[in-house]
C-alpha cells in the first residue's frame, strides 16, 4: 500500500533517520535491476536506433506506421483485455468457490491439482490439444458433432486457450486474499441483517478489489507477452504484436524492427500498470489485525448458489482434464491419429537422448526458484513498507521484464551479455537471471497485495519495542507474507520448467532446456516425445509443489495462513 508509508506514524520513527539495512538492500536490488533489466534494454535500444554506428529512426518509423502492424497492435490489446477479463472472472470463480464453498478436502485438492495443470505445461500443448479437438477434423467438432469446414484459427480459440492457460495465475493471486479476509467482518455484516448477496457485493468484493486488479494486470501482461499460443492458433486473420515481432526477428532477420514492435507493447503494459497502482492505491484495507480474530465459520453462500458455483468449476476442470488426458494418451501411442498401438518408446527416447535437457532444466530451476522467491518478497516488501530513493520507480522497473514479450527480453540479454565486460551467454547464470527477473514479479505482486491487508500497527509495535527493521521483517512480516513467498517461488519454478519465449535465445551448446526440446519435437513431427516430455514436466512440477505444500504444513509459521491447498499439497 503505497500511501500507507506516507502516513504520519511511519514517517515519524523518531531518532532513526535512515535504516542502514533498508538502504543496503535497496542498493543491492537497484544494482541487480540495473544490470539485469535496464542494461540489456539499453543495449537493445542502442542496437535498435543505430545502423552501422550512425543514429537513425528510419527503419522504426517505417515499421510503426505500417497499417498491418497497427492492426496487430489493436488485436493484441483486444486479446489481452479479453483474456484479462475472462481469466480474472474464472480465477475468481475458482478462488471464491474454494475459499467460501466449505468444500470437502478431496474436492479442494482435485480443483487445485487440475487448475495447476495449464500452469505447469508449455502453453503450446494447450494449443495443440485445441487443434486436435476443434480443428476441421477435430475429435469434438468432426467426430463428435459432425461439423465440417470449421476454422479453428482466430480470436475465439486463441482467447479460449490463453484464458485456460493463464486463469490459474488469477486463482493463485485471489485465493490467499479471499482466505485472508477476516470472516468476522462478513459475519458481522450478515448478523446486521445484510443479505448474502449484499455482503458479497459490499464487503467481500471491495476487499478483493486490489487482488482483482492485480490478477487482471498479471493476465493482461501475460497475454500481451505470449507468442506461443497465437503462433499456433491465431492464424493469419488475427495477427498480434508479439508474434509479429518474433517473425520480424527470426524470419526477416530484422532485429531493429522486431525490437521496435516489442517496445510498442511496453506502452499499454505500463499504462495498465500505472492505472492499477493509482486505482488500488486510493483504497486502504486492513483485515489482518493484531487482535487475533478467530476464524468463525460463516455461511457466505446459499446451498443453491454453492452447487451452481461447484458445477461451473467442475465443467471447466473437466475441459482441462480432457486436454491433458489427450496429452497423456499421445505420449503412449506410436503416432497420434495414425497408429494407436501402445508403446513406451517415447519415454525411452526422452530418458536417453533427452536426459541432458532434463538434467539442465532441473539444475537451473533449482537455482532460480529460491532466488526468485526471495527477490519477490524482498522487493515487494521494500516498495510497500519502506521509504527510500526512487521507490516507485523500482517497482516499475521490476515489472518491465514481466510485461515485455519474452522474445525481446531474450534478444536483449543475448546482445547485452554476449560481449565483454559482462560475458554470460553460454552459461546457466544467464537463464537463471532471466527467470528470476521475468517471473519474480509474480512474487512481488503477491507480496504487495498481501501487505496491503496487513495493519501497519503490527510492525510499528515491534519497532516500538526496539526491534531493528531486519528483526521486524523476519519475525513479524515474513510469517505474514510467507504465502506470497511460496507463490512467487512456485511460479518461478513452474516457469523455469515451462517457459520458452525468452530462453529459446539463451539456451546454448552447454545448457539446454526441456521446453526447447518440446518445440523442437513438435516441429520435427515427433508428437510422441513432445507429449512424453510434457507429461514429465507436469509430473515433476506436481511433485515439487506437493513437497512445498508438505513443508509448509510442517513449518506452519504462526500467523501464516493455511496455504497448503493453494499449492495443491
Site residues for other proteins, 239-278, by CB under 8 A, read 239, 247-253, 255
Enter the C-alpha cell of residue 352. 536417453
**Residue with Cβ nearer other proteins (115 or 513):** 513
How many residues belong to the chain?
A: 569
**Nearest residue to 161 (alpha-carbon basis) of 268, 313, 319, 331:** 319
d(CA 102, CA 189): 19
d(CA 416, CA 410): 10
> In terms of DSSP H, where are the helices of 339-390?
345-352, 355-385
Enter the C-alpha cell of residue 509. 551448446
Closest distance to other proteins from the beta carbon of 205 (Å): 42
* Interface region with other proteins, contact rule CB under 8 A, candidates 24-32, 84-92, 414-422, 552-560: 414-422
Closest distance to other proteins from the beta carbon of 80 (Å): 21
Is residue 51 at the binding interface for other proteins, with CB under 8 A as the rule?
Answer: no
Site residues for other proteins, 390-409, by CB under 8 A, read none
Closest distance to other proteins from the beta carbon of 32 (Å): 14
CA dihedral 316, 317, 319, 324 (to 10 degrees): 150
Q: Which of 54, 65, 352, 523 binds other proteins (CB under 8 A)?
A: 523
Q: 3-class DSSP state for residue 55?
A: strand
Enter the C-alpha cell of residue 524. 520435427
* Interface region with other proteins, contact rule CB under 8 A, candidates 21-29, 177-185, 277-285, 520-528: 520-528
Closest distance to other proteins from the beta carbon of 78 (Å): 17
Where on the phi/psi map is residue 568: left (φ > 0), alpha (ψ -120 to 50), or beta?
left
Site residues for other proteins, 130-189, by CB under 8 A, read 131-132, 135-138, 149, 151-153
Instruction: Count the residues of the shown chain that bind other proteins, applying the rule CB under 8 A.
Output: 60
Is residue 505 at the binding interface for other proteins, with CB under 8 A as the rule?
Answer: yes
d(CA 182, CA 1): 18
Q: Which of 325, 334, 344, 539 binds other proteins (CB under 8 A)?
A: 334
Site residues for other proteins, 93-132, by CB under 8 A, read 131-132
Closest distance to other proteins from the beta carbon of 353 (Å): 7
**Nearest residue to 528 (alpha-carbon basis) of 319, 341, 322, 321:** 341
Residue pair 413/406 in contact (Cβ under 8 Å)? The answer is no
Is residue 65 at the binding interface for other proteins, with CB under 8 A as the rule?
Answer: no
d(CA 300, CA 191): 11
**Residue with Cβ nearer other proteins (254 or 455):** 254
**Residue with Cβ nearer other proteins (287 or 343):** 343
Q: How many other CB atoms are found less than 10 A from the CB of residue 294?
A: 9
Q: Which residues lie near other proteins (CB under 8 A)?
A: 68, 131-132, 135-138, 149, 151-153, 231, 235-236, 239, 247-253, 255, 334-339, 353, 363, 367, 411, 414-415, 418-420, 423-429, 432, 504-505, 507-510, 512, 520, 522-527
Amino acid at each position: 500500500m503505497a500511501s500507507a508509508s506516507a502516513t504520519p506514524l511511519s514517517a515519524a520513527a523518531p531518532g532513526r533517520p535512515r535504516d542502514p539495512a533498508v538502504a543496503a538492500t535497496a542498493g543491492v536490488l537497484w544494482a541487480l535491476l540495473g544490470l539485469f533489466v535496464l542494461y540489456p534494454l539499453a543495449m537493445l535500444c542502442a542496437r535498435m536506433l543505430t545502423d552501422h554506428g550512425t543514429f537513425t529512426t528510419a527503419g522504426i518509423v517505417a515499421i510503426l506506421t505500417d497499417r498491418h502492424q497497427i492492426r496487430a497492435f489493436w488485436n493484441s490489446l483486444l486479446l489481452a483485455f479479453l483474456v484479462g477479463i475472462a481469466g480474472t472472472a474464472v480465477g475468481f470463480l475458482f478462488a471464491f468457490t474454494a475459499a467460501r464453498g466449505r468444500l470437502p478436502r478431496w474436492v479442494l485438492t482435485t480443483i487445485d491439482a487440475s487448475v495447476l495443470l495449464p500452469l505447469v505445461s508449455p502453453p503450446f500443448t494447450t494449443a495443440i490439444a485445441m487443434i486436435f479437438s476443434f480443428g476441421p477434423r477435430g475429435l469434438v467438432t468432426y467426430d463428435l458433432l459432425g461439423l465440417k469446414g470449421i476454422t479453428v484459427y482466430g480470436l475465439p480459440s486463441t482467447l479460449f486457450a490463453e484464458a485456460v492457460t493463464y486463469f490459474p495465475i488469477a486463482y493463485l493471486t485471489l485465493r490467499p486474499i479471499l482466505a485472508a479476509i477476516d470472516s468476522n467482518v462478513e459475519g458481522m455484516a450478515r448478523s446486521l441483517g445484510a443479505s448474502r448477496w449484499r455482503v458479497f457485493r459490499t464487503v467481500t468484493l471491495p476487499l478483493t478489489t486490489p487482488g482483482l486488479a492485480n490478477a487482471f494486470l498479471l493476465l493482461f501482461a501475460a497475454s500481451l507477452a505470449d507468442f506461443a499460443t497465437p503462433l499456433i492458433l491465431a492464424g493469419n486473420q488475427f495477427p498480434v504484436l508479439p508474434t509479429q515481432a518474433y517473425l520480424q526477428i527470426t524470419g526477416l532477420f530484422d532485429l531493429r524492427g522486431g525490437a521496435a514492435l516489442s517496445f510498442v507493447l511496453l506502452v499499454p503494459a505500463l499504462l495498465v500498470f500505472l492505472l492499477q497502482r493509482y486505482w488500488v492505491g486510493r483504497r486502504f484495507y486492513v483485515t489482518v489485525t493484531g487482535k487475533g480474530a478467530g476464524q468463525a465459520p460463516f455461511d457466505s453462500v446459499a446451498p443453491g448458489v454453492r452447487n451452481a458455483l461447484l458445477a461451473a468449476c467442475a465443467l471447466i476442470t473437466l475441459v482441462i482434464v480432457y486436454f491433458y488426458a489427450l496429452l497423456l494418451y499421445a505420449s503412449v501411442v506410436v503416432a497420434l491419429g495414425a497408429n494407436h498401438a501402445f508403446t513406451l518408446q517415447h519415454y525411452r527416447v526422452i530418458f536417453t537422448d533427452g536426459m541432458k535437457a532434463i538434467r539442465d532444466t532441473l539444475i537451473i530451476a533449482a537455482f532460480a526458484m529460491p532466488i526468485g522467491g526471495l527477490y519477490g518478497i524482498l522487493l515487494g516488501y521494500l516498495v510497500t513498507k519502506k521509504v527510500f530513493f526512487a521507490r516507485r520507480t523500482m517497482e516499475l522497473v521490476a515489472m518491465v521484464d514481466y510485461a515485455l514479450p519474452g522474445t525481446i527480453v531474450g534478444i536483449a540479454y543475448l546482445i547485452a551479455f554476449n560481449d565483454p565486460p559482462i560475458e554470460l551467454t553460454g552459461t546457466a547464470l544467464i537463464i537463471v537471471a532471466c527467470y528470476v527477473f521475468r517471473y519474480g514479479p509474480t512474487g512481488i505482486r503477491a507480496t504487495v497485495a498481501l501487505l496491503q491487508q496487513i495493519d501497519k500497527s503490527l510492525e510499528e509495535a515491534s519497532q516500538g519495542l526496539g526491534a531493528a527493521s531486519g528483526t521486524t521483517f523476519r519475525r513479524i512480516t515474513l510469517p505474514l507474507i510467507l504465502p506470497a513467498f511460496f507463490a512467487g517461488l512456485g511460479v518461478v519454478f513452474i516457469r523455469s520448467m515451462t517457459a520458452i519465449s525468452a530462453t529459446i535465445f539463451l539456451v546454448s551448446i552447454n545448457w539446454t532446456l526441456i521446453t526447447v526440446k518440446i518445440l523442437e519435437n513438435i516441429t520435427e513431427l515427433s508428437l510422441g516425445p513432445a507429449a512424453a516430455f510434457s507429461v514429465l514436466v507436469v509430473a515433476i512440477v506436481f511433485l515439487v509443489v506437493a513437497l512445498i505444500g508438505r513443508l509448509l504444513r510442517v513449518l506452519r509459521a504462526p500467523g501464516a495462513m493455511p496455504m497448503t491447498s493453494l499449492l495443491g499439497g
